[in-house]
């Protein structure tokens, strides 16, 4: 049982490049989340999903897209990366005890 | 506006001393409340949560938290801090079970433990 995994762990992008962050969970959770963490701002919700095939916007969705084609995977896409998207990205899934279980994070640097 | 506030950005505490981290929320109804800990370079780990019932809740690693409705607070405490408690701590809320997509986190409190 790997829990929540994130790929890649670290990435450097140039402004305007695109990339996809992958989150995978093997716990059969319905709810999944993408957050970004910036110093002094805690975690801010980007997008979330309440089940396969569904997604919804969170607090800071601009510049990001998501897809949940399979229940176990939640993808976060950056179509045209900007320096303001330099951050640490965390994925989480929701357990049956209404508690979020977090992945180890992806550190993204946009130059 | 709905908000979660952690007034202390940074706290330094001596090993063996007590620790209290503050969390205040501003919501129309009583939210579901959580405390998470993040060690350097790691994801967040749940310490404890409050949904209803006894207002003093026990968590892992010797932590406890007390919900005070009158003060809209959910402060985290530990009687005796260990060096391994050095980390960043986040308070979080969810407004209702109908909106588990609506978690909101505080800005975090960085805890430094001195010998």
Distance from CA of B15 to the nearest CA of A (A): 25
What integer pLDDT is reported at residue A97 of this predicted model?
67
pLDDT band per the 50, 70, 90 thresholds, residue A81: very high
Within an 8 Å CB–CB cutoff, is residue B104 touching chain A? yes
Checking if the pLDDT of A100 tops 90, the result is no
What integer pLDDT is reported at residue B96 of this predicted model?
60
Structure-token pair, residue B71 = 């003060």
pLDDT digits (tens, 9 = 90+) for A45-73: 999 998 999 999 988 999 999 999 999 99
Residues in chain A, total: 111
Structure-token pair, residue B70 = 């009158």
Residue of B nearest to A4 (CA): B43
Apex A17 CA angle, A15 and A21, nearest 5:
115
Task: Profile chain B (115 residues) by mean pLDDT over runs of 10 residues.
Answer: 88 97 87 91 91 91 95 96 96 72 87 96
Collapsing DSSP states into helix, strand and coil, what is residue B85? helix
Within an 8 Å CB–CB cutoff, is residue A105 touching chain B? yes
């Amino acid at each position: 049982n790997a829990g929540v995994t994130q790929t890649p762990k670290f990435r450097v992008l140039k402004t305007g490049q695109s990339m996809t962050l992958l989150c995978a969970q093997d716990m059969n959770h319905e709810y999944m989340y993408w957050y970004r963490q910036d110093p002094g701002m805690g975690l801010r919700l980007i997008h979330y999903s309440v089940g396969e095939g569904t997604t919804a916007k969170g607090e800071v969705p601009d510049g990001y897209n998501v897809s949940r084609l399979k229940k176990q995977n939640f993808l976060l896409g950056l179509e045209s990366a900007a320096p303001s998207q330099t951050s640490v990205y965390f994925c989480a899934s929701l357990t049956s005890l209404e508690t979020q279980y977090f992945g180890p994070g992806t550190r993204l640097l946009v130059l | 506006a709905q908000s979660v506030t952690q007034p202390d950005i940074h706290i330094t505490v001596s090993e063996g001393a007590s620790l209290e981290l503050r969390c205040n929320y501003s919501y129309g109804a009583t939210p579901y409340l959580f405390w998470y800990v993040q060690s350097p370079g790691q994801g967040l780990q749940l310490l404890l949560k409050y949904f209803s019932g006894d207002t003093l809740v026990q968590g892992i690693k010797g932590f406890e938290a007390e919900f005070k409705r009158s003060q809209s607070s959910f402060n985290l405490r530990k009687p005796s801090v260990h060096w391994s408690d050095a980390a960043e701590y986040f308070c979080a809320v969810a407004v209702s079970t109908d909106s588990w997509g609506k978690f909101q986190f505080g800005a975090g409190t960085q805890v430094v433990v001195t010998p």
